[in-house]
């Protein structure tokens, strides 16, 4: 038996253990346990980070005490491991805990003409890369998506006939299409476990904001009702009213056109949930929105046109720290990841130098908030072949 086949068989045994772990709900409990220990993590709260220093050897500007590492490059095998070549155009991503103390970072491939999909890198508890593999193939323009509390990755296709695929980060179970989540130009999705629904964004200049409520309790996504948001103004405040989409497969009419009173959003991008609030971005007006999942009120938490600190532009992917800091990755702009703190500060956390024709994609924390992963989609070459995936970690006061 070759070493490559031995390693793969060993990984599959570990992955099958993880699959049963997911089914039993163990992953969610494990992640919550790890998150409860995350106060020691460097990324638990980002309210007090310092100014960015000059770029390091990887061309990454970071606050004092942080360092960067390149973990993958498009067209190359991560850590030199045989098997999977890291995909082109890395986009949306997420991290999933494993039952051996490690984690998996999954990353979409935003390639056209059924050349997209999702790749994954597995790390052990010492943050060493131990495997890399595909979890979805032969799809188109896999842009963003979202993790689920039951341990799967929802990968979204960003074109008119785009679908959502539910993927196993361990690479054991085959990916499944979830057509009831709608046929449209998908961007991202977030799961509201408390209220038993999902929220989805659509990347058109007049795109919709959607809610999917399954017929059966989560994690069953096979049937349910898709709705689109409309906005009702009451006493100077904005509230969302949900309107039914009766043709979610868009066989007769585009989803967003099925309800004439829907609220158009200017190119919706990333989305994430924290403390019963859903945060999402719109790129054509550089805004960050907050939807209260209980009161259904909609507010703007950042608007480049009115902000006292208008440094965030090209708003895109979203991830949220354990303390509620909302991190926004820039598509272009200054190639930064910018933090919106709970006390309304706007702080740059990361900046990549020399990647002027790229975008930052796929920000995601490891399970204990010790590390942050993300990609420069096109790298310094300005084309998809140049994608670079990074890890940021804390090395202590300097």
| pLDDT-based confidence at residue 169 (cuts at 50, 70, 90) | very high
Q: Is residue 390 assigned to a domain?
A: yes
CA–CA gap between residue 260 and residue 229 (Å, rounded)? 11
Q: Is residue 60 assigned to a domain?
A: no
CA–CA gap between residue 297 and residue 240 (Å, rounded)? 6
Q: Is residue 378 assigned to a domain?
A: yes
Cross-strand pairs, 295: none
| pLDDT-based confidence at residue 46 (cuts at 50, 70, 90) | confident
Q: Is residue 354 assigned to a domain?
A: no
Q: Which residue has the higher pLDDT, 198 or 379?
A: 198
Burial label for 269, CB within 10 Å (0-12, 13-18, 19+), is buried
Residue in 349, 346, 351, 319 with CA at minimum distance from that of residue 335: 351
How high is the pLDDT of residue 39?
Answer: 46
Burial label for 353, CB within 10 Å (0-12, 13-18, 19+), is middle
pLDDT in tens, 242-272: 999 999 999 999 999 999 999 999 999 999 9
Asked if pLDDT for residue 276 goes beyond 50, the answer is yes
pLDDT in tens, 115-147: 999 999 999 999 999 999 999 999 999 999 999
- Give the strand order in the sheet containing 277-282: 186-192, 197-202, 209-214, 224-234, 237-245, 297-303, 287-292, 277-282, 268-274
Q: Is residue 47 assigned to a domain?
A: no
Q: Is residue 333 assigned to a domain?
A: no
How high is the pLDDT of residue 380?
Answer: 79
What CATH number is given to the structural domain containing 155?
2.120.10
Q: How many domains does the chain have?
A: 1
Asked if pLDDT for residue 42 goes beyond 80, the answer is no
- Name the average pLDDT for the chain: 89
pLDDT in tens, 337-391: 999 999 999 999 999 999 989 999 999 999 989 999 999 999 877 665 689 999 9
Structural domain boundaries, residue 159: 3-41+68-321+359-394
Cα angle at 62 between 61 and 65, to 5 degrees?
Answer: 145
Cα angle at 376 between 371 and 378, to 5 degrees?
Answer: 160
Q: Is residue 97 assigned to a domain?
A: yes
Question: Is residue 373 classed as helix, strand or coil in its secondary structure?
Answer: strand
Asked if pLDDT for residue 394 goes beyond 50, the answer is yes
Task: Give the residue-averaged pLDDT of 162-182.
Answer: 98
């Amino acid at each position: 038996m070759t070493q490559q086949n031995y390693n793969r068989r060993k990984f599959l045994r570990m992955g099958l253990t993880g699959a049963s772990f997911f089914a039993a709900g163990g992953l969610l409990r494990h992640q919550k346990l790890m998150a409860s220990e995350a106060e020691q993590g460097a990324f638990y709260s980002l309210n007090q980070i310092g100014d960015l220093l000059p770029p390091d050897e990887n061309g990454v500007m970071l606050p004092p005490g942080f360092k960067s590492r390149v973990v993958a490059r498009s067209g190359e095998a991560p850590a030199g491991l045989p098997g999977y070549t890291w995909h082109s155009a890395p986009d949306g991503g997420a991290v999933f805990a494993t039952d051996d103390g490690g984690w998996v970072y999954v990353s979409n491939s935003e390639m056209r003409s059924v050349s997209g999909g999702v790749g994954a890198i597995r790390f052990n508890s010492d943050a060493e890369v131990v495997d890399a593999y595909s979890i979805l193939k032969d799809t188109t323009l896999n842009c963003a998506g979202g993790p689920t509390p039951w341990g799967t990755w929802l990968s979204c296709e960003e074109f008119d006939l785009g679908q959502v695929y539910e993927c196993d980060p361990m690479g054991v179970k085959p990916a499944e299409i979830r057509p009831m989540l709608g046929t449209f130009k998908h961007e991202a999705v977030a799961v509201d476990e408390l209220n038993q629904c999902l929220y989805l964004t659509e990347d058109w200049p007049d795109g919709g904001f959607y809610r999917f409520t399954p017929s059966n309790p989560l994690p069953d996504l096979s049937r349910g009702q898709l709705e689109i948001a409309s906005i009702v103004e009451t006493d100077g405040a904005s509230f969302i009213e949900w309107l039914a989409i009766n043709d979610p497969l868009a066989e007769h009419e585009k989803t967003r056109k099925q309800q004439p009173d829907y609220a158009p959003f200017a190119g919706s991008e990333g989305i994430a949930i924290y403390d019963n609030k859903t945060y999402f971005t719109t790129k054509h007006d550089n805004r960050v929105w907050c939807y209260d999942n209980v009161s259904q009120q909609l507010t703007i938490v950042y608007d480049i046109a009115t902000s006292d600190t208008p440094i965030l532009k090209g708003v895109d992917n979203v991830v949220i720290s354990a303390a509620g800091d909302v991190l926004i990755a820039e598509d272009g702009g200054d190639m930064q990841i910018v933090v919106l703190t709970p006390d309304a500060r706007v702080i740059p956390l990361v900046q990549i130098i020399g990647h002027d024709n790229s975008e930052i994609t796929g920000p995601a924390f490891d399970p204990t908030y010790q590390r942050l992963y993300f990609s420069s989609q096109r790298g310094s070459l300005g084309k998809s072949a140049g994608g670079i995936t990074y890890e940021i970690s804390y090395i202590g006061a300097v």
